[in-house]
Amino acid sequence: MQVGPQAGVPQTLDGSVRYVIGAPAESMKDFGARVLLPKMLAKTRAEVKELKARLAALQAEK
């Protein structure tokens, strides 16, 4: 198991977790789901919106 920098580990960790980060310590999977995934979804939504607008403009040209 690896513990990331400044990870707050208040108790014994489950042996199935390979890497923890944050305070309190949480698995990278949980951290990604809580912090990174919402940011990625927001970016994806903006990209889809832009692509829809471009597609509508292309269809209007025909």
Using one digit for the tens of pLDDT, what is the confidence trace for 29-53?
A: 888 888 889 999 999 999 999 999 9
Whether the CB-CB separation of 31 and 46 falls below 8 Å is answered with no
Q: What is the mean pLDDT of the chain?
A: 84
Question: For residue 16, what pLDDT is reported?
Answer: 72
Closest CA to 1 of 22, 11, 16, 9: 16
C-alpha to C-alpha distance for 1 and 4, rounded to whole angstroms: 10
- The answer to pTM > 0.85 is no
19-54 b/e (C-beta count within 10 Å ≥ 16 → b): ebbbeebbbbeebeeeeeeeeeeeeeeeeeeeeeee
Domain of 35 in residue numbering reads as: 2-61
The number of folded domains in the chain is 1
12 - beta bridge partners?
none
